[in-house]
Amino acid sequence: MLKIDGYSLTITDVARAARGEERSFALTEESRARVEASRKLVDGWVERGEVIYGITTGFGEFANVNIPLHQIEELQVN
C-alpha cells in the first residue's frame, strides 16, 4: 500500500501507480487532518465571498469572471 503523507511521495511512486503496479493508496491520519483543515479554510473564504482564482472565478481568460455560489461545485467538477 502506498501511504500518502505529504512528504515522501516520489516520481517513482507516481510512475508505479500510473502503470498499475501500486493499486492501494491511503492518506495518513496527519495528511487527512491537513486536507480537512485546508478544506475548512477554503470553505470559509467562499462563505465570506472572497475572490479565489479557479474556485470563485473562472480560469485563464475567465479569471475575472466571478462564479455564482450555486455554480461553484459544478466549476470544480468541470
Q: How far apart are CA 41 and CA 71, in angstroms?
A: 19
Q: How far apart are CA 11 and CA 67, in angstroms?
A: 35
Selection from 46, 70, 49, 51 nearest residue 62 by Cα: 51
Q: Which one-letter DSSP state was computed for residue 15? A: H
The catalytically annotated residue of 6, 36, 42, 53 is 53
Q: Is 53 tagged catalytic?
A: yes
Q: So which residues are the catalytic ones? A: 53
